[in-house]
Amino acid sequence: MAENSTEGKDRLVAENAERIRTMAMIGRGVAHDINNLMENIIGTASLLRNDLAGSQAHVAMLDSIERAAELAGRLTQRMMALTQQNDNRIEPVNINAIVYHLLLVEETHLARRIRIVRHIDPDLWRVQANHTQVAQILVNLATNAVESIPGNGRVTIRTNNVNMDADSIPAESPLVPGPYVLVTIEDDGEGMSENVLKLIFEPGFTTRPGKTGQGLATAAAMARAMGGMLSASSHQGEGSVFRVYLPAIPDVAKLDERQATTLPHGTETVLVVDDERMIADVMQETLKRLGYRTLVARDGREAVDVARSYKAPIDLALLDIAMPVMGGADAFPLLKEIHPNMKVIVCTGFEQELISGELLRSGVDAFLLKPFRLASLAQEVRKVLDTTAS
């Protein structure tokens, strides 16, 4: 019986891998087509801008069209970046990148009544895994969490490093002692009874009409194939918690632990500008622990206001690019005008935003590609502050 169950799970994994390859090919084609359409829209809007230069109302509408097209273009870049992953390749994977970028895109397809909250460990260890399969596991769990909430609610996603020893490994699990990355997805939905909880990882089992019931079984099989485990806990009426354990790369985990004790410190004033409260809070706390004085702004306009009102020198700004009200590209020259000697590190989730812009040629000192490790943040901040302007 156990052998047949294993064969069934292996078949599910193979079938889903084929579906992923097919969807990736379709996704690449669709993303390229959308990108071309957005380029056409932006180009046409630019031409119309010249013809309608005397009409402020029309120019404002063109601004809105261009902003929407640029946003759509950024979303397609994310789609292409994800579909270009090699489906069969086992490689070092930063799970934070999946949680931050992939689920950010997925939120546009999930119910708007649900708030998705992330608590990301910026120093998360890497895992040796298949990027596409990890992404499928997390999207499946996030989607299930949303569907379990009948009205308004919240889904919380956490990433953590954990060292598992013989005492902390759950009973009857395939895990062995060592370093793991733990992803926890928690919802405040309907929850499950004890009887349902026992069956959720069985192939074909579902409580929802019209569903195939293969998602959780496949996710569990994929996690196990990568040396990890998927577990669940739930109570009727109290929501559910799913935990994905994937083995960390041991040498990377040990190196990160050593680096954490030797991070460079400082006493300068740093302005953190990011509309993602979680990211801003983590950066602020990290810099405080390293001895820096910190200021925080949630968008470019607020950053300009903070810079104007702060009379002492601001030595460095950590500047996000894509923000509401005023983005980093627009805020940058205003900040430099107020504090000419302030150095700037651009923090962005997409390298294309830098390549296509003028920021690096306008005096930006460095950039960090999100999601970055705290060690990378500490080292880059110290490196930029210690660099003498030529």
**φ, ψ for residue 246 (rounded to 5)?**
-130, 135
Query: Of 45-49, 213-217, 299-303, 357-361, which range is least confident?
Result: 357-361
Determine the CATH number of domain 85-256.
3.30.565.10
Q: Which of 268 and 16 is assigned the larger pLDDT?
A: 268
Lowest mean pLDDT among 57-61, 236-240, 256-260, 285-289: 256-260
- Max mean pLDDT range (5-19, 92-106, 167-181): 167-181
Look at residue 217 and tell me whether its pLDDT is greater than 70: yes
Q: What would the pLDDT profile of 79-117 be if each residue is shown by its tens digit?
A: 555 555 445 667 788 888 788 765 655 565 566 678 888
Selection from 314, 280, 283, 278 nearest residue 297 by Cα: 280
CB 13 within 8 A of CB 218: yes
Question: Does the domain at residues 263-386 carry the CATH identifier 3.40.50.2300?
Answer: yes
| Closest C-alpha to 75, from 123, 27, 145, 42 | 27
User: How confident is residue 29, by pLDDT bands cut at 50, 70 and 90?
Assistant: low
Nearest to 183 by CA among 134, 113, 238: 134
Domain range list for the chain: 1-84, 85-256, 263-386
Q: Which residues pair with 184 in a beta bridge?
A: 158, 243
How far apart are the C-alpha atoms of 189 and 97, rounded to whole Å?
26
Report pLDDT digits (tens) over 305-335: 999 999 899 999 999 887 888 888 889 999 9
Instruction: In whole angstroms, give the CA distance from residue 182 to residue 230.
Output: 10
Q: What is the mean pLDDT of the segment spanning 347-370?
A: 63
Of 387, 389, 385, 386, give the one whose Cα is nearest residue 317.
Answer: 385
